[in-house]
Structure 1
C-alpha cells in the first residue's frame, strides 16, 4: 500500500493510536481527515492542519452527515480506518453489566459496520481503495475482565474476513489492524509494563502497511502471542494467567 498520496479518513482518531496514525499518514504525504465525537479535541487537531469532522459511530445520522461532508470536501477519498472503540470492564455475575455490553457492541462492532457501509459504495465506484478495520489481540486471546470487548473485536475480525471476500474483484482491499496493549498515556505504561510504546507501535504498523500487496492482517511482533495462541498450544495457559486480572473488578478483591 502506497501511504504517500492517500486521502484517508480515520474514524475515532482524536487521541491515542488513531491520532498517531493520522500524523504518520500525513507525514508520509497523505491527506488525512480526523473524525471523532470530542469537538474540543477536534479543534486542537484542526490547529495541526488536519481536516476534521464530527462523527458518532453509534448514530446513523451522524455517520451519514460525516460521510456527506467528507465526500463533498475530499472526493478523492480512498482509505477508511475504523478506529472508534470503547473498552469497558464487566462483571458477568452482575446483570447490570448489560449496559456496558450494549455500549461496547454498538460502538465497536455496529459502529464499524456503520462506517464501512457509509463509504463502501464510494470506494466501489472508484474501483480502488482500502478499508482498514481495527480489532485487537484480545479478540484472539480474551481478557476476562472485558468479555464483550473481546467478543466485539472477534466479531470485527470475522466481519473483516467476510467483507474481504465480498469485495473481491472490486478493487477495494480490506486490511485488519490487530493491536496488542499499547501505552497511549503514561499511566498505561505504569499499569502494564508490557504495553508497547505508541511511537514504536506506529512505526511498525506503517512499515507493515507499506508492503505490496497490503497484508490482510497488520500484525506487529508484540501481538503474535495473542494471534497464534491457539495454534501454538498456549491458549489455555494464557487465558488462565489473564484471568487473574478478574480481581480488578469491584467486589472481586
Structure 2
C-alpha cells in the first residue's frame, strides 16, 4: 500500500474524472471530488469510503468558494490537484440568441475555475512533501474544430497557463503537468465512440504518468496529431475542422 495522499479531482464523479477517482481511491488515497449532481457524487461514495464528495457548481463564484472552503476544512496538505471538470457547448456565432450566457459559463468552468482554484489552493499544495497539480486540456487547443470555438479557446488558454505556471513554480517542488487526452468514450463523444479511447485505459495511463512525475501526458493519437500539425498544419486543420 502506497502512503495515503489527499487528492482533489474536479468533475470526479463522471467520465474520465470518475475513472480517476476509482483508480486513486482503489490505491487507498483520500480522494476529494466535486460536481454539480449530488446523486452522481454519492454513487462514488458507496464502494469507496475514502471518497469525499462536495457538491459545487464551478461556473459560479459561490460554488468555487464552497469547494475551496471545504478543502481547507479538511485540515490536510493537498498532494495532487487534478483540474478535470469541463463542458463543451456548440456555438454558432451567426445566431446570437442566448449565446452570451453560455459563453460565460463555458469560460468560467473551463478556464477561470482551474486558474482560481490553483491560486486559492497553492498554500495547501506547498504543505505536501510531493505536490502536483495537473490540468486536463485537449488536442483541440492546438487544432480546433468549427462547432466548439469557446471550448477550443478555453483549452488553448489552459494549455498556455499550465506551461507558464510550470515556469513560475520551478524550484518550489510543485510538479505542474498537462494531460492531453485523445477522444474519450464519454458523453462528450456520443456518436463517435468507435474512434474513442476507453476512459478506464486513459485513467490508467494518467495515473501512471503522474506517478512518474511526467509534465506532459499525451494519450492515444495526440502525439501523432501534434506531429502532423507541425509538419502539415493545413492538413491537420482540415482533418479536425468538422470533427
Global fold match (TM > 0.5): yes
TM-score by length of 2: 0.89
- Measured after TM superposition, the shift of residue 93 of structure 1 is 2.3
- Measured after TM superposition, the shift of residue 137 of structure 1 is 1.2
Give the whole-Å Cα distance in 2 for the aligned partners of 1:87 and 1:33: 23
Identify the residue that residue 73 of structure 1 maps to in structure 2: 74
Secondary structure of the residue aligned to 1:218 is strand
Counterpart contact for 2:229–2:235, Cα < 8 Å = no
Give the whole-Å Cα distance in 2 for the aligned partners of 1:241 and 1:218: 22
Stretch of structure 1 that moved more, 43-52 or 95-104: 95-104
- Measured after TM superposition, the shift of residue 162 of structure 1 is 1.0
Counterpart contact for 1:78–1:129, Cα < 8 Å = yes
Give the whole-Å Cα distance in 2 for the aligned partners of 1:112 and 1:176: 12
- Measured after TM superposition, the shift of residue 189 of structure 1 is 6.1
Closer, same or farther: CA 4–94 of 1 in aligned 2, 3 Å: farther
Give the whole-Å Cα distance in 2 for the aligned partners of 1:82 and 1:131: 8
Q: What is the alpha-carbon root mean square deviation over aligned residues? A: 2.2
- Measured after TM superposition, the shift of residue 4 of structure 1 is 5.6
Identify the residue that residue 234 of structure 1 maps to in structure 2: 232
Counterpart contact for 2:60–2:108, Cα < 8 Å = no
* CA deviation vs aligned residue, 1:72-128 (integer Å, no higher than 9, x gap): 225132111111110011113223444332221111000111211220122234464
Counterpart contact for 1:37–1:55, Cα < 8 Å = yes
Give the whole-Å Cα distance in 1 for the aligned partners of 2:189 and 2:89: 15
Identify the residue that residue 60 of structure 1 maps to in structure 2: 61
* CA deviation vs aligned residue, 1:37-63 (integer Å, no higher than 9, x gap): 111211222223221112222223322
Give the whole-Å Cα distance in 1 for the aligned partners of 2:117 and 2:242: 36
The runs of at least 4 consecutive aligned structure 1 residues that moved more than 4 Å come to 125-128
Alignment of 1:17-36 (within 5 A): 17-36=16-35
Closer, same or farther: CA 74–184 of 1 in aligned 2, 3 Å: farther
Secondary structure of the residue aligned to 1:221 is coil
Give the whole-Å Cα distance in 2 for the aligned partners of 1:228 and 1:102: 33
Give the whole-Å Cα distance in 2 for the aligned partners of 1:32 and 1:9: 6
Stretch of structure 1 that moved more, 200-209 or 119-128: 119-128
> Structure 1: where are the runs of 5+ without partners?
246-253
* CA deviation vs aligned residue, 1:163-213 (integer Å, no higher than 9, x gap): 11111222211111111210025x9464342111112222222222222xx
Aligned residues: 240
Secondary structure of the residue aligned to 1:240 is helix
Secondary structure of the residue aligned to 2:34 is strand
TM-score by length of 1: 0.86
Secondary structure of the residue aligned to 1:33 is strand
Counterpart check, 1:170 vs 2:168: no
Identify the residue that residue 181 of structure 2 maps to in structure 1: 179
Identify the residue that residue 241 of structure 2 maps to in structure 1: 243
Give the whole-Å Cα distance in 2 for the aligned partners of 1:204 and 1:128: 20
